[in-house]
Amino acid sequence: MKEPHNRAKVGYSMIAVSASLTVIALIALAIGGNVLFADNMQRESTAHFNECKANDFSTEGCLKYCERINTKISGVYTDSCD
């Protein structure tokens, strides 16, 4: 009778899990000193959006918001995206 276990697949999956944990650890070490990394990114994006909103989304860097605004959900309406 053939053995039902496939140890090669188990071994490869263990290697994949250890590699993913190693990548997570390296990312944690890379941004570990800056515990507010994601918060800073979000604050910069919010500040950029508010600056674009004040300029009525007329500058070139603000055109990326045009597909998401002018809807009832966003509550932001502008004519500069036409």
pLDDT at 55 over 60: yes
Among residues 59, 66, 65, 60, which one has the least CA distance to residue 45? 65
Rg (CA), the chain: 24
Residue 56 contacts residue 78 (beta carbons within 8 Å): yes
Kindly state the percentage of the chain with pLDDT values over 70.
Answer: 93
Rounded to whole angstroms, how far apart are CA atoms 76 and 50?
Answer: 11
In the chain, what are the domain boundaries? 7-65
Per residue in 13-50, pLDDT tens?
999 999 999 999 998 888 887 888 889 999 999 999 89
Q: What is the mean pLDDT of residues 58-64?
A: 83
pLDDT of the residue at 24: 94
Rounded to whole angstroms, how far apart are CA atoms 64 and 70?
Answer: 13
